[in-house]
Structure 1
Protein backbone atom coordinates (compact mmCIF):
# COMPACT_ATOMS: atom_id res chain seq x y z
CA UNK A 1 0.00 0.00 0.00
CA UNK A 2 1.69 3.20 -1.22
CA UNK A 3 2.56 5.73 1.45
CA UNK A 4 0.49 3.82 3.98
CA UNK A 5 1.35 2.21 7.28
CA UNK A 6 0.85 -1.33 8.44
CA UNK A 7 -2.15 -1.79 10.75
CA UNK A 8 -2.53 -4.69 13.16
CA UNK A 9 -5.54 -5.97 15.07
CA UNK A 10 -4.35 -6.34 18.68
CA UNK A 11 -7.77 -6.48 20.34
CA UNK A 12 -7.28 -3.33 22.38
CA UNK A 13 -8.10 -3.75 26.05
CA UNK A 14 -8.27 0.00 26.83
CA UNK A 15 -9.70 2.71 24.57
CA UNK A 16 -8.76 5.86 26.52
CA UNK A 17 -7.13 7.55 23.54
CA UNK A 18 -7.02 10.95 25.24
CA UNK A 19 -9.61 13.13 26.99
CA UNK A 20 -9.44 15.99 29.51
CA UNK A 21 -9.38 15.09 33.19
CA UNK A 22 -12.41 16.39 35.09
CA UNK A 23 -12.76 16.70 38.86
CA UNK A 24 -16.45 16.09 39.51
CA UNK A 25 -17.64 17.60 42.78
CA UNK A 26 -20.94 16.45 44.23
CA UNK A 27 -22.83 16.31 47.52
CA UNK A 28 -22.91 13.23 49.73
CA UNK A 29 -26.09 12.19 51.58
CA UNK A 30 -24.84 13.91 54.75
CA UNK A 31 -24.17 17.20 52.91
CA UNK A 32 -20.39 16.83 52.76
CA UNK A 33 -18.55 17.17 49.46
CA UNK A 34 -17.18 14.39 47.29
CA UNK A 35 -14.54 14.91 44.63
CA UNK A 36 -13.82 12.38 41.90
CA UNK A 37 -11.35 12.50 39.01
CA UNK A 38 -12.66 11.12 35.73
CA UNK A 39 -11.87 11.45 32.04
CA UNK A 40 -14.87 10.03 30.16
CA UNK A 41 -16.42 13.38 29.32
CA UNK A 42 -17.27 15.33 26.20
CA UNK A 43 -19.13 18.54 25.44
CA UNK A 44 -21.68 19.62 22.82
CA UNK A 45 -23.04 23.16 22.97
CA UNK A 46 -23.95 23.95 26.58
CA UNK A 47 -24.24 20.28 27.54
CA UNK A 48 -21.81 17.52 28.52
CA UNK A 49 -21.92 13.75 28.62
CA UNK A 50 -20.22 12.00 31.54
CA UNK A 51 -19.42 8.30 31.76
CA UNK A 52 -19.23 7.12 35.38
CA UNK A 53 -18.97 3.64 36.86
CA UNK A 54 -22.02 2.49 38.81
CA UNK A 55 -19.99 1.42 41.86
CA UNK A 56 -18.75 4.93 42.67
CA UNK A 57 -20.11 7.45 45.14
CA UNK A 58 -20.31 10.12 42.43
CA UNK A 59 -22.86 8.14 40.40
CA UNK A 60 -25.09 7.72 43.44
CA UNK A 61 -24.74 11.41 44.27
CA UNK A 62 -25.66 12.56 40.76
CA UNK A 63 -28.68 10.28 40.62
CA UNK A 64 -29.91 11.62 43.97
CA UNK A 65 -28.90 15.30 43.85
CA UNK A 66 -29.26 15.85 40.07
CA UNK A 67 -26.42 18.38 40.05
CA UNK A 68 -22.64 18.67 40.16
CA UNK A 69 -19.68 20.85 39.24
CA UNK A 70 -17.24 19.87 36.50
CA UNK A 71 -13.86 21.30 37.47
CA UNK A 72 -11.19 21.18 34.77
CA UNK A 73 -7.62 21.13 36.14
CA UNK A 74 -4.63 22.41 34.20
CA UNK A 75 -1.66 20.13 33.62
CA UNK A 76 0.13 21.96 36.47
CA UNK A 77 -2.41 20.44 38.91
CA UNK A 78 -1.50 16.83 38.10
CA UNK A 79 -0.03 16.09 41.53
CA UNK A 80 -3.28 17.05 43.29
CA UNK A 81 -5.31 14.91 40.89
CA UNK A 82 -3.04 11.90 41.27
CA UNK A 83 -3.28 12.02 45.07
CA UNK A 84 -6.97 11.09 44.90
CA UNK A 85 -6.79 8.80 41.86
CA UNK A 86 -7.09 5.57 43.86
CA UNK A 87 -9.61 6.74 46.44
CA UNK A 88 -13.36 6.38 46.75
CA UNK A 89 -16.03 8.17 48.74
CA UNK A 90 -17.72 4.84 49.50
CA UNK A 91 -16.95 3.46 52.97
CA UNK A 92 -17.75 -0.03 51.66
CA UNK A 93 -15.03 -0.24 49.02
CA UNK A 94 -15.94 -2.81 46.33
CA UNK A 95 -13.69 -5.88 46.34
CA UNK A 96 -12.35 -5.30 42.83
CA UNK A 97 -11.33 -1.74 43.77
CA UNK A 98 -9.55 -3.00 46.87
CA UNK A 99 -7.54 -5.32 44.64
CA UNK A 100 -6.56 -2.35 42.48
CA UNK A 101 -5.38 -0.37 45.48
CA UNK A 102 -8.37 1.88 46.13
CA UNK A 103 -9.14 3.05 49.67
CA UNK A 104 -11.94 4.99 51.34
CA UNK A 105 -11.29 8.71 51.72
CA UNK A 106 -14.03 10.91 53.25
CA UNK A 107 -12.28 14.24 52.57
CA UNK A 108 -10.77 14.24 49.11
CA UNK A 109 -10.44 18.02 48.99
CA UNK A 110 -8.05 17.88 51.96
CA UNK A 111 -6.12 14.90 50.58
CA UNK A 112 -5.65 16.65 47.24
CA UNK A 113 -4.75 19.94 48.91
CA UNK A 114 -7.58 21.71 47.10
CA UNK A 115 -10.07 24.33 48.27
CA UNK A 116 -13.85 23.90 48.24
CA UNK A 117 -15.45 27.12 47.00
CA UNK A 118 -19.22 27.73 47.25
CA UNK A 119 -21.15 27.53 43.99
CA UNK A 120 -23.88 29.99 43.02
CA UNK A 121 -26.47 27.85 41.24
CA UNK A 122 -25.88 24.35 42.64
CA UNK A 123 -25.13 22.99 46.11
CA UNK A 124 -21.98 21.08 45.20
CA UNK A 125 -18.82 23.16 45.71
CA UNK A 126 -16.36 24.28 43.06
CA UNK A 127 -12.61 23.61 43.16
CA UNK A 128 -11.10 27.05 43.64
CA UNK A 129 -7.75 26.11 42.07
CA UNK A 130 -9.23 24.83 38.81
CA UNK A 131 -9.01 27.37 35.95
CA UNK A 132 -12.36 26.20 34.55
CA UNK A 133 -15.42 25.39 36.69
CA UNK A 134 -18.82 24.41 35.27
CA UNK A 135 -21.93 24.32 37.47
CA UNK A 136 -24.28 21.70 36.03
CA UNK A 137 -27.63 20.03 36.50
CA UNK A 138 -28.39 16.48 35.44
CA UNK A 139 -30.81 16.27 32.49
CA UNK A 140 -30.83 12.52 31.95
CA UNK A 141 -29.12 9.32 33.05
CA UNK A 142 -28.69 6.41 30.67
CA UNK A 143 -27.55 2.91 31.74
CA UNK A 144 -24.39 1.94 29.89
CA UNK A 145 -23.71 -1.77 30.13
CA UNK A 146 -21.33 -4.14 28.41
CA UNK A 147 -19.50 -7.37 29.01
CA UNK A 148 -16.83 -5.63 31.10
CA UNK A 149 -18.49 -2.40 32.26
CA UNK A 150 -21.41 -1.29 34.40
CA UNK A 151 -21.75 2.45 34.10
CA UNK A 152 -24.13 5.36 33.65
CA UNK A 153 -23.94 8.03 30.97
CA UNK A 154 -25.10 11.33 32.44
CA UNK A 155 -26.29 14.21 30.28
CA UNK A 156 -25.74 17.46 32.14
CA UNK A 157 -26.56 21.07 31.29
CA UNK A 158 -23.96 23.74 32.05
CA UNK A 159 -25.75 26.43 34.05
CA UNK A 160 -22.76 28.70 34.63
CA UNK A 161 -19.13 28.65 33.55
CA UNK A 162 -16.26 30.24 35.46
CA UNK A 163 -12.93 30.75 33.66
CA UNK A 164 -9.71 32.34 34.86
CA UNK A 165 -9.49 35.83 33.36
CA UNK A 166 -6.06 35.26 31.82
CA UNK A 167 -7.45 32.35 29.78
CA UNK A 168 -10.15 34.46 28.09
CA UNK A 169 -9.36 36.23 24.82
CA UNK A 170 -9.80 39.97 25.65
CA UNK A 171 -13.09 41.41 24.48
CA UNK A 172 -14.61 37.99 23.75
CA UNK A 173 -16.34 35.09 25.49
CA UNK A 174 -13.84 32.59 24.11
CA UNK A 175 -11.04 30.64 25.82
CA UNK A 176 -7.57 31.16 24.33
CA UNK A 177 -6.42 27.66 23.26
CA UNK A 178 -2.77 28.76 23.41
CA UNK A 179 -3.06 29.66 27.10
CA UNK A 180 -5.32 26.80 28.20
CA UNK A 181 -3.26 23.68 28.91
CA UNK A 182 -5.68 21.01 30.17
CA UNK A 183 -4.58 17.89 31.99
CA UNK A 184 -5.15 15.04 29.56
CA UNK A 185 -5.43 11.34 30.35
CA UNK A 186 -4.23 8.97 27.65
CA UNK A 187 -4.45 5.26 28.41
CA UNK A 188 -4.51 6.01 32.17
CA UNK A 189 -1.40 8.23 31.95
CA UNK A 190 -1.20 12.00 32.59
CA UNK A 191 -0.23 14.36 29.77
CA UNK A 192 0.03 18.12 29.33
CA UNK A 193 1.41 20.07 26.42
CA UNK A 194 1.99 16.78 24.62
CA UNK A 195 4.33 15.48 27.34
CA UNK A 196 3.92 12.86 30.06
CA UNK A 197 3.85 15.07 33.16
CA UNK A 198 3.49 12.77 36.18
CA UNK A 199 3.55 9.09 37.20
CA UNK A 200 0.02 7.73 37.45
CA UNK A 201 -1.28 5.73 40.39
CA UNK A 202 -4.27 4.81 38.26
CA UNK A 203 -2.07 3.21 35.60
CA UNK A 204 -0.39 1.17 38.33
CA UNK A 205 -3.72 0.11 39.83
CA UNK A 206 -5.03 -0.97 36.45
CA UNK A 207 -1.72 -2.74 35.70
CA UNK A 208 -1.03 -0.83 32.50
CA UNK A 209 2.15 -2.05 30.74
CA UNK A 210 3.57 1.43 30.10
CA UNK A 211 7.16 2.40 30.93
CA UNK A 212 7.10 6.18 30.63
CA UNK A 213 9.79 8.76 31.33
CA UNK A 214 8.13 11.81 32.90
CA UNK A 215 9.21 15.12 31.37
CA UNK A 216 11.32 17.34 33.59
CA UNK A 217 9.31 20.11 35.22
Structure 2
Protein backbone atom coordinates (compact mmCIF):
# COMPACT_ATOMS: atom_id res chain seq x y z
CA UNK A 1 0.00 0.00 0.00
CA UNK A 2 1.28 3.43 -0.92
CA UNK A 3 1.71 5.91 1.92
CA UNK A 4 0.05 9.25 1.26
CA UNK A 5 2.42 12.25 1.31
CA UNK A 6 2.12 14.54 4.32
CA UNK A 7 -0.44 17.31 4.02
CA UNK A 8 1.29 20.67 3.42
CA UNK A 9 0.89 23.13 6.28
CA UNK A 10 -1.76 25.82 5.87
CA UNK A 11 -1.23 29.33 7.17
CA UNK A 12 0.06 32.80 6.43
CA UNK A 13 3.54 31.94 7.69
CA UNK A 14 4.25 29.34 4.97
CA UNK A 15 7.22 30.18 2.74
CA UNK A 16 6.30 30.72 -0.92
CA UNK A 17 8.81 30.43 -3.76
CA UNK A 18 8.64 32.46 -6.97
CA UNK A 19 8.74 29.92 -9.81
CA UNK A 20 8.29 29.84 -13.58
CA UNK A 21 6.59 26.53 -14.44
CA UNK A 22 6.47 25.58 -18.11
CA UNK A 23 2.81 24.55 -17.80
CA UNK A 24 -0.10 25.53 -15.56
CA UNK A 25 -2.10 22.30 -15.47
CA UNK A 26 -2.69 22.54 -11.73
CA UNK A 27 -5.29 19.79 -11.51
CA UNK A 28 -7.75 19.96 -14.40
CA UNK A 29 -10.13 17.28 -15.74
CA UNK A 30 -9.23 15.26 -18.82
CA UNK A 31 -11.79 15.04 -21.62
CA UNK A 32 -11.81 13.19 -24.93
CA UNK A 33 -13.23 15.26 -27.79
CA UNK A 34 -14.78 13.49 -30.77
CA UNK A 35 -15.24 15.64 -33.88
CA UNK A 36 -15.94 15.11 -37.57
CA UNK A 37 -13.16 15.18 -40.18
CA UNK A 38 -13.61 16.72 -43.61
CA UNK A 39 -14.00 13.28 -45.23
CA UNK A 40 -16.79 12.25 -42.84
CA UNK A 41 -14.59 10.10 -40.59
CA UNK A 42 -14.12 11.03 -36.94
CA UNK A 43 -11.27 12.30 -34.83
CA UNK A 44 -10.72 11.64 -31.13
CA UNK A 45 -8.39 13.81 -29.08
CA UNK A 46 -7.50 14.14 -25.39
CA UNK A 47 -7.22 17.54 -23.76
CA UNK A 48 -7.23 19.01 -20.28
CA UNK A 49 -8.42 22.60 -20.60
CA UNK A 50 -12.19 22.49 -20.16
CA UNK A 51 -14.59 24.05 -17.69
CA UNK A 52 -18.34 24.54 -17.52
CA UNK A 53 -20.57 27.59 -17.19
CA UNK A 54 -24.12 26.33 -16.85
CA UNK A 55 -24.76 24.34 -20.04
CA UNK A 56 -21.75 25.84 -21.85
CA UNK A 57 -18.34 24.17 -21.79
CA UNK A 58 -15.32 26.37 -22.53
CA UNK A 59 -12.49 24.45 -24.17
CA UNK A 60 -8.89 25.40 -24.92
CA UNK A 61 -7.23 23.74 -27.92
CA UNK A 62 -3.93 23.87 -29.75
CA UNK A 63 -4.35 26.02 -32.86
CA UNK A 64 -2.78 23.47 -35.22
CA UNK A 65 -4.59 20.34 -34.02
CA UNK A 66 -7.19 18.44 -36.00
CA UNK A 67 -9.88 19.18 -33.40
CA UNK A 68 -9.53 22.95 -33.81
CA UNK A 69 -9.49 22.50 -37.60
CA UNK A 70 -12.67 20.43 -37.50
CA UNK A 71 -14.62 22.72 -35.19
CA UNK A 72 -13.86 25.71 -37.38
CA UNK A 73 -16.26 24.37 -40.02
CA UNK A 74 -18.10 21.41 -38.44
CA UNK A 75 -19.31 22.46 -34.98
CA UNK A 76 -20.70 19.15 -33.70
CA UNK A 77 -18.67 17.46 -30.96
CA UNK A 78 -18.92 15.11 -28.03
CA UNK A 79 -17.16 15.91 -24.76
CA UNK A 80 -16.39 12.53 -23.20
CA UNK A 81 -15.18 12.33 -19.58
CA UNK A 82 -13.07 9.26 -18.74
CA UNK A 83 -12.73 7.74 -15.28
CA UNK A 84 -9.32 7.60 -13.54
CA UNK A 85 -8.78 3.93 -14.43
CA UNK A 86 -8.95 4.86 -18.12
CA UNK A 87 -5.76 6.91 -18.10
CA UNK A 88 -3.84 4.33 -20.24
CA UNK A 89 -6.33 4.78 -23.08
CA UNK A 90 -5.98 8.56 -22.78
CA UNK A 91 -2.20 8.30 -22.85
CA UNK A 92 -2.29 6.08 -25.94
CA UNK A 93 -4.06 8.94 -27.72
CA UNK A 94 -1.67 11.64 -26.50
CA UNK A 95 1.09 11.27 -29.16
CA UNK A 96 -1.38 10.83 -32.04
CA UNK A 97 -2.71 13.47 -34.41
CA UNK A 98 -5.37 13.49 -37.08
CA UNK A 99 -3.35 15.99 -39.15
CA UNK A 100 -1.27 14.74 -42.05
CA UNK A 101 1.47 15.85 -42.29
CA UNK A 102 2.07 16.11 -38.55
CA UNK A 103 2.03 19.78 -37.48
CA UNK A 104 5.44 21.12 -36.39
CA UNK A 105 3.86 22.19 -33.08
CA UNK A 106 3.09 18.56 -32.17
CA UNK A 107 5.38 17.29 -29.42
CA UNK A 108 8.35 15.15 -30.41
CA UNK A 109 7.30 11.57 -31.11
CA UNK A 110 3.86 12.51 -32.41
CA UNK A 111 2.50 10.60 -35.41
CA UNK A 112 -0.47 10.66 -37.74
CA UNK A 113 -3.25 8.16 -36.94
CA UNK A 114 -6.50 8.11 -38.96
CA UNK A 115 -8.37 5.71 -36.62
CA UNK A 116 -7.82 6.95 -33.11
CA UNK A 117 -10.70 4.99 -31.58
CA UNK A 118 -9.04 1.72 -32.59
CA UNK A 119 -5.56 2.94 -31.66
CA UNK A 120 -6.74 3.73 -28.12
CA UNK A 121 -8.83 0.58 -27.76
CA UNK A 122 -12.05 2.59 -27.43
CA UNK A 123 -15.48 2.10 -28.98
CA UNK A 124 -17.54 4.63 -30.89
CA UNK A 125 -21.23 4.75 -29.97
CA UNK A 126 -23.81 6.69 -32.05
CA UNK A 127 -24.84 10.07 -30.67
CA UNK A 128 -28.43 11.29 -30.60
CA UNK A 129 -28.25 14.90 -31.79
CA UNK A 130 -24.72 15.39 -33.20
CA UNK A 131 -22.75 13.53 -35.87
CA UNK A 132 -19.53 12.54 -34.00
CA UNK A 133 -19.82 9.36 -31.92
CA UNK A 134 -19.61 9.10 -28.17
CA UNK A 135 -16.90 7.08 -26.45
CA UNK A 136 -18.85 4.09 -25.13
CA UNK A 137 -16.39 3.41 -22.30
CA UNK A 138 -16.56 6.94 -20.82
CA UNK A 139 -18.98 7.26 -17.86
CA UNK A 140 -20.12 10.76 -18.91
CA UNK A 141 -20.70 11.92 -22.50
CA UNK A 142 -21.86 15.42 -23.47
CA UNK A 143 -23.27 15.98 -26.96
CA UNK A 144 -22.58 19.59 -27.88
CA UNK A 145 -22.15 22.17 -30.62
CA UNK A 146 -19.42 24.78 -30.82
CA UNK A 147 -21.17 28.15 -30.96
CA UNK A 148 -18.02 30.28 -30.88
CA UNK A 149 -14.48 29.41 -31.98
CA UNK A 150 -11.85 32.12 -31.64
CA UNK A 151 -8.10 32.54 -31.07
CA UNK A 152 -6.81 33.25 -27.59
CA UNK A 153 -4.78 36.35 -26.77
CA UNK A 154 -1.46 34.59 -27.43
CA UNK A 155 -2.46 33.41 -30.90
CA UNK A 156 -1.19 29.92 -30.16
CA UNK A 157 -4.47 28.42 -29.01
CA UNK A 158 -8.16 28.35 -29.87
CA UNK A 159 -10.97 28.93 -27.37
CA UNK A 160 -14.20 27.08 -28.04
CA UNK A 161 -17.55 27.79 -26.38
CA UNK A 162 -19.70 24.69 -26.80
CA UNK A 163 -23.34 24.42 -25.75
CA UNK A 164 -24.33 21.01 -24.38
CA UNK A 165 -27.58 19.61 -25.81
CA UNK A 166 -27.68 16.11 -24.33
CA UNK A 167 -25.96 14.41 -21.37
CA UNK A 168 -25.41 10.66 -21.05
CA UNK A 169 -24.28 9.24 -17.69
CA UNK A 170 -23.46 5.71 -16.59
CA UNK A 171 -26.46 4.58 -14.51
CA UNK A 172 -24.11 3.54 -11.72
CA UNK A 173 -23.07 7.14 -11.04
CA UNK A 174 -26.57 8.69 -11.11
CA UNK A 175 -28.55 9.21 -7.90
CA UNK A 176 -31.54 6.86 -8.36
CA UNK A 177 -34.73 8.63 -9.43
CA UNK A 178 -32.96 11.93 -10.15
CA UNK A 179 -30.96 13.75 -12.83
CA UNK A 180 -28.01 14.23 -10.45
CA UNK A 181 -24.58 12.70 -10.80
CA UNK A 182 -23.60 11.19 -7.44
CA UNK A 183 -20.30 12.87 -6.49
CA UNK A 184 -19.51 9.95 -4.19
CA UNK A 185 -19.72 7.54 -7.13
CA UNK A 186 -18.09 9.63 -9.85
CA UNK A 187 -14.44 10.66 -10.02
CA UNK A 188 -13.04 12.49 -13.05
CA UNK A 189 -9.57 11.78 -14.40
CA UNK A 190 -7.42 14.72 -13.28
CA UNK A 191 -4.35 15.96 -15.17
CA UNK A 192 -2.05 17.41 -12.52
CA UNK A 193 1.17 18.85 -13.98
CA UNK A 194 1.28 16.07 -16.62
CA UNK A 195 0.49 13.28 -14.18
CA UNK A 196 -2.85 11.45 -13.93
CA UNK A 197 -4.91 11.34 -10.72
CA UNK A 198 -8.42 10.62 -9.48
CA UNK A 199 -10.18 12.36 -6.60
CA UNK A 200 -9.26 11.74 -2.99
CA UNK A 201 -11.72 11.28 -0.12
CA UNK A 202 -14.49 13.84 0.18
CA UNK A 203 -13.68 16.68 2.60
CA UNK A 204 -17.08 18.40 2.59
CA UNK A 205 -19.66 19.92 0.27
CA UNK A 206 -21.09 23.25 -0.86
CA UNK A 207 -24.20 24.68 0.81
CA UNK A 208 -25.73 24.59 -2.69
CA UNK A 209 -25.39 20.84 -3.20
CA UNK A 210 -28.50 18.85 -4.10
CA UNK A 211 -26.86 15.56 -3.14
CA UNK A 212 -25.89 15.99 0.55
CA UNK A 213 -24.41 12.94 2.23
CA UNK A 214 -22.28 11.89 5.18
CA UNK A 215 -18.78 12.69 3.91
CA UNK A 216 -17.35 10.09 6.26
CA UNK A 217 -19.17 7.24 4.53
CA UNK A 218 -17.20 5.82 1.59
CA UNK A 219 -19.25 4.75 -1.42
CA UNK A 220 -18.98 1.25 -2.82
CA UNK A 221 -19.20 2.85 -6.26
CA UNK A 222 -15.65 4.22 -5.85
CA UNK A 223 -14.35 0.74 -6.57
CA UNK A 224 -16.49 0.66 -9.70
CA UNK A 225 -14.94 3.87 -10.98
CA UNK A 226 -11.39 2.85 -10.16
CA UNK A 227 -11.01 5.12 -7.14
CA UNK A 228 -11.42 2.76 -4.20
CA UNK A 229 -9.98 4.02 -0.90
CA UNK A 230 -6.91 2.19 0.42
Scaled to the shorter chain, the TM-score interval is 0.7 to 0.9
Deviation at 1:3?
Answer: 5.1
Spell out the pairing of 1:21-100 with structure 2 (5 A cutoff): 21-97=30-106, 100=108
Of the three residues 96, 115, 126, the one matched with 1:107 is 115
Give the C-alpha shift of residue 4 in structure 1: 1.9
Aligned Cα root-mean-square deviation (Å): 1.7
Distance 2:83 2:143 in 1: 18
Aligned-residue offset at 1:13: 2.0
Greater helix share, structure number: 1
Question: Normalising by the residue count of structure 2, what TM-score does the alignment of the two structures yield?
Answer: 0.80
Secondary structure of the corresponding residue to residue 142 of structure 1: strand
Counterparts of 1:158 and 1:116, CA distance in 2: 19
Shift of 1:139: 1.2
Aligned partner (choices 153, 159, 162) of residue 156 of structure 1: 162
Shift of 1:85: 0.7
Structure 1 runs (4+) deviating above 4 angstroms are none
Q: Distance in 2 between matches of 1:134 and 1:118?
A: 12
1:137 to 112, 137, 145: 145
Greater C-alpha Rg: 2
Note closer, same or farther for the CA distance 1:96–1:152 as it changes in structure 2 (3 Å cut).
closer
1:173 is aligned to 179
How many equivalent residue pairs?
A: 192
Shift of 1:100: 1.7
| Structure 1 residue 95, shift from structure 2 partner | 2.5
Unaligned runs of 5+ residues in structure 1 are: 196-216
Q: Does 1:10 align with 2:16?
A: no
Structure 2 unaligned regions, length at least 5 = 1-10, 202-229
**Partner SS for 2:179:** coil
